[in-house]
Every structure is written in structure tokens, then in C-alpha cells.
Amino acid sequence: MDRLAGVIASGRFPQSGMFSGPPGVGKQRLALWAAQALLCEQNSAGKPCGRCTGCSRVSTLTHPDLHWFVPIPRPKAQDTAKQVEEAEASLAEVMAERREKSQYGRPDGMDSHSVSSVRLLQRKISLTPAIARKKVVIVGDAERLVVQESSPEAANALLKVLEEPAADTVVMLTVADPQALLPTVRSRLVPIRVSPISDDAVRQYLSTVADPPATGAALDQRVLLAEGSIGRAIWADTDTEKADRAAEAFLSAVAKGPVGWTTAALAQAPWQARGDYTALLDAVSLKIRLRLKTDGTGDRARAVRWSQALKRVEVARFDAQGNLNPRLGLAVLGQDLQGLL
């Protein structure tokens, strides 16, 4: 944070930046902090003063020059203008929720930054700042930018924003894996790495601040699963056991060979409960990472196979954002994982 404050104070904060780091590590919070420093009317040494109108309006998420984009459900309207209106309304709703509770979970598995969100972003950027000298745009979970491949028009619009940023605009994207962004988008962003915190700090949080506090073996496991991320440590608790059980069942079905995974795929509800499907994939990914962490050392060939398996799960997770049938997705994944686990 001090380093970031130094950059802000020097006036060299990038116009297009990318905060990257593991999920839940606090990338969007850090981006908000930077936004507050940028919109602070005192701007003392690159840090928000915390008292001025600018600061308090950022912290209450009511600053008219702060535009925070988060993944939202894809607008249903047919008409382009109506879709943008719908996106704006959805975002306003999420912001209203975040004003109420400071702690928020992951976006729903199917939420995304659709073409409409990018159009809205363009519109916001074209406005003159309302009360500050500049506008700050945050695009959280930027890997959910579905526009990337499916809509060249929107991808170009986004590129244009990043390529020729208005002098009075700062755009910050947050992303867990920079590789998830199109190279053309990624190359226009100045990377800012957000590091995981220490296991000790996570342990401290889970055993004292968390409600209810974790103890014993459960605490050890959650520290391991958190991978230096408070967000992940919290989610690990609130995530449904259902997804965990489904992931366990799926992995043992895969181990049984084609008959096993085909049956498991067919048992998956075809179109309903897509959120369940993405939760299942997240749980599978978590289980493989846990295996890598606990048994991955020693046997190099096995570790390589598990890493490949993880990649396959990530591809399935990405495809799940589109319109792929979960049954088909699971069948393909089952086949992909053959021999890797």
C-alpha cells in the first residue's frame, strides 16, 4: 500500500492498470483504496485522507466519478439501448447491496461483464467528471469479460478505451489470472501484483476474527485451502457442502473409467441449476489443488498430470460461462481427466 501511495503521490499512477493475485486476496479492495486516494480532495502523500467529501463518498460507494463494474447477469432485453439500461440497473442493485454489507461473496457463477457492460463503461468514460478532477473505473473479476471472444465489436471498444484513455480517466482491472485476459487487452495494462498474505495471518483471522472461529483440524484445512486469501478462507466456510460432495462423487466416478463418468454426467441436471454446476467445478478445482499441495511433491510425473487436470477443469469452468450444457461439459471433462488423476 505504501508503494502504491508513493506512485499515486508522484502522479505516475498508470491510466490503465491491472491488479492481479489469487481470488479473495483483496484486489478490488486495494483498487478501491487507490480510487479513494485518486479522488481524495486532500490527496496527502498519495493516501486517502479519509475525511473529505471525496473520500467519504468513495467509502460509501456514492461517488459520482467512481464507476465500479462487477459481473452481473446477462441483460435479457433484445434492444441494445435497453440492455445497457438493464446492466446499469443491475450494477446499481449490487452497489446498493455492498453499501449495506462490507463483506461480499464471489459473483454468481453465471454472472459476467457482457457487451452491454462494456458499452455502459464507454458511456461513463465519455462523461466529464461530476465533482472530482478525474473519473475512476474499476472492472472487478475481469476474467469474466465474456466480450473477449464472442463479440469482437465490444472487445475492440474495450481496447479503444485502454489504448486511448481519456486524460481524466483511470481504469483498473482486477484479475486472478492475467492469462485469462486476451493478450491484446493484457498488453495495454500496467501490472500491479497483489500478494497473498501469510498462512499465519490467515490462521490468526480464522481463529479469532471469523465468526464462528475455526479450531483444530478444521482450522488447519481451511488455512491450507485459503492459500493466503482471507476471501477464500471465508468462502470455504460458506460454500455449500453440496458442491463438495458432488465434486467428491464426480472424481470417484472419473476414477472408475468411462462408465463411471458417463453416468455421473447424465446424472447432472441438464439446464437448471447452472450455478450448481459452476460450484461443482470450483469444488473439483479446489480438491485437485489440495492434492497437489499435500501429495504433489516427490512424484514429479504425478504432479505434472495433476497440473494438467487442473488446467482442464479451468477450461470447463470457462466454458461454463457460455451456453454449454452442463451434462455435455461434465462428460467432456470426465474424458479429459482420464488418466490424469
* Residues of this chain that bind Zn ion (CB under 5 A): 40, 42, 49, 52, 55
1 Cβ neighbours under 8 A, 6+ residues apart: 30, 33
How far does CA 57 lie from the centroid of its chain? 24
Q: How far is the CB of 9 from Zn ion (least distance, A)?
A: 13
- Per-residue HEC secondary structure of 59-82 comes to HCCCCCCEEEECCECCCCCCCHHH
Q: Which is nearer to Zn ion, 42 or 151 (CB)?
A: 42
Cα dihedral 306, 311, 313, 314 in deg (nearest 10): 150
What is the side-by-side strand order in the sheet with 135-139? 66-69, 135-139, 169-175, 16-20, 190-193
- Cβ of residue 131: shortest distance to Zn ion, in angstroms? 12
Q: Residue 54 CB, nearest distance to Zn ion (Å)?
A: 5
Cα-based distances in Å from 111 to 32, 145, 190, 306: 21, 10, 26, 28
CB 171 within 8 A of CB 16: yes
Least Å from the CB of residue 78 to Zn ion: 44
Nearer to Zn ion, 42 or 325 (CB): 42
Q: Give least dist CB 171 to Zn ion, A.
A: 21
For the bound state, the minimum distance from the C-beta of residue 31 to Zn ion, rounded and expressed in Å, comes to 17
Strand partners, 44: 47
Write the DSSP assignment of 81-126 as a string of letters: HHHHHHHHHHHHHHHHHHHH-S---PPPTT-BB-HHHHHHHHHHHH
Closest CB 40 distance from Zn ion, rounded Å: 3
- CA-to-CA distance for 281 and 320, rounded, in angstroms? 9
- Tell me whether residue 52 or residue 201 sits nearer to Zn ion (CB atom): 52
Q: Residue 133 or 293: which CB sits closer to Zn ion?
A: 133
H/E stretch holding 137 reads strand 135-139
Question: Nearer Cβ to Zn ion, position 49 or 182?
Answer: 49
Q: Distance (Å, rounded) from C-alpha 189 to C-alpha 187?
A: 6
Q: Which is nearer to Zn ion, 132 or 288 (CB)?
A: 132
Which residues face 173 on adjacent strands? 18, 139
Q: Which is nearer to Zn ion, 2 or 164 (CB)?
A: 2
